[in-house]
Amino acid sequence: MLQVNQLNVYYGESHVLRNASFSVAKGETVAIMGRNGMGKSTLLKALIGILPTRGGSVSLGGRELTGTPTYTRVAAGMGFVPQGRMIFPYLTVEENILTGMEKAAEKTVPAYIYEVFPVLLEMKHRRGGNLSGGQQQQLAIARALVSNPGVLVLDEPTEGIQPSIIKDIARALNTLKAERGFSLVVSEQVLSFAMAVADRFLIIEKGEFVHEAARADADEGVIHGYLTI
């Protein structure tokens, strides 16, 4: 489904992502794990096209996406939930969701969104900026889902959200994946959340992948070691 080959990102002269290569199969969930500043967000932003890459390639379902603007990648089937959620503060909840439906055939929010996230139906006419962090996270996921992505890219979805909501979000993601069959790339520091959703773990350190494990033979202790200082 998603093919990433030898991706490199620089901030000015500093080389922050080095030769990142990985692929994600249809319906698979890959968790990118690592401490702060190791390059998780950089990698995901480069995938959706917010950050320019130098060398390397990204393709989705056989379609070459390297160098294309973000909205082309969304149209090609990539959904993005950014770190910090980035809700449009002055748009209502409903309008926030509709912004993700540029290429969708229907003109109203699909019913399954409100079934999975009932709180969004309740808050439909509130401004996005007035929601709590957890509600905004659900809204950001909904906004990315309505473009019917083949791959959903989530950047640190648990950041700043209370534990009970984190569990809800993990459950919702698993339900949605089973129903809709998309792949998931999620960056995380919270091991319990990653264990609840991921099929495979990639550990990133100083801009490079240093460890990979399938869920079946993942050693929580080893991964935990990479996450603590």
What are the residues binding other proteins (CB under 8 A)?
48-50, 69-71, 74-75, 80, 82, 86, 88-91, 95, 98-103, 107, 127-131, 143-144, 147
CB of 99 to other proteins, least distance (A): 4
With respect to other proteins, which residue has the nearer C-beta, 58 or 131?
131
CB of 150 to other proteins, least distance (A): 13
Q: Which residues of 87-99 are buried (b: 16+ CB within 10 A; e: fewer)?
A: beeeebbbbbbbe
With respect to other proteins, which residue has the nearer C-beta, 10 or 88?
88
With respect to other proteins, which residue has the nearer C-beta, 129 or 181?
129
123 DSSP assignment: T
Round to whole Å and give the CA distance between 41 and 188: 10
Q: DSSP alpha helices (H): ranges in the chain?
A: 40-48, 70-76, 93-98, 111-116, 118-122, 133-145, 163-180, 191-197, 220-227
CB of 96 to other proteins, least distance (A): 8
Round to whole Å and give the CA distance between 81 and 202: 19
CB of 70 to other proteins, least distance (A): 4
With respect to other proteins, which residue has the nearer C-beta, 88 or 226?
88
